[in-house]
Amino acid sequence: MKIIFIGPQGSGKGTQASLLAKKLNIPHISTGDLLRNAKGQLKQEIDSYINKGDLLPDELMLKILKQRISESDCKKGFILDGFPRNLKQVELLNSITDIDKIILIHISDKEAIKRISGRVNCEKCKANYNLLTSPKPKNPKICDKCGGRLIQRADDNEQAVKKRLSIYHKETEPILDYYEDKFLTINGEQSIDEIKEDINELI
């Protein structure tokens, strides 16, 4: 099964994509994580886009994604989180694979900004936390799971977040018109478990 998760920053799509991927035993491909973990000569170029909150050029993004989905663990399917982000990327995706389901997790901009400003993750094991919502770490600076240091992403500052949300409305939301009735909408302003249940019911 090939699934796309769409939603604004902070909607929890990464968390839900990861839970569903475990349930279906297929990989969760977050293009943001893929780019943040990139190594080698492209690293500097990639970081220059990410740190400003800008999107990477579509062709470059596709090249990186195409390589990832050609790996053997993607044979049974995968969950895409963060791609496609605009209509051009939908077109590029159509040229390399078919998609079975699209899940939209909806939250307001106000909620998105609140959630992102509290978002931190572990430098070492990458576990995600939120200092304002949930899951809250016991100590705001230390990972509950491995004791690593909790840090904020460089693009989770207010200026970059606002830019990323405006790109989401202008460029990503029109994708939904393209997929029309193929996408399922979930209310993202619920608890992680409630959202998970809604998704499991629909899948």
Q: Is 53 in the site for ligand AMP (CB under 6 A)?
A: yes
Active-site residue, 115 included: no
Q: Is 85 part of the annotated catalytic residue set?
A: yes
Catalytic residue chosen out of the listed positions 88, 114, 124, 153:
153
Q: HSE (CB half, 13 Å, CA atoms) of 104?
A: 18
Q: Is residue 82 near ligand AMP by the rule CB under 6 A?
A: yes
The smaller minimum CB distance to ligand AMP, of residues 52 and 124, is found at: 52
The yes or no reply on residue 155 touching ligand AMP (CB under 6 A) is yes
Does residue number 35 form part of the binding site for ligand AMP (CB under 6 A)?
Answer: yes
* Exposure class string for 97-116: b at 16+ Cβ within 10 A, else e: eebebbbbbebebebbbebb
Q: Which residues contact 201 (CB under 8 A, 6 or more apart)?
A: none
Question: Cis before residue 135, ω within 30 degrees of 0?
Answer: yes
Q: Examine the residue annotation and report whether 149 is marked as an active-site residue of this protein.
A: no
Taking the C-alpha atoms of residue 54 and residue 129, their distance in angstroms, rounded to an integer, is 24
Judged by the rule CB under 6 A, the positions of this chain that interact with ligand AMP are 9, 31-32, 35, 49-50, 53-56, 61, 82-83, 85, 89, 155, 164
Q: What residues are labeled active site?
A: 13, 85, 119, 153, 164
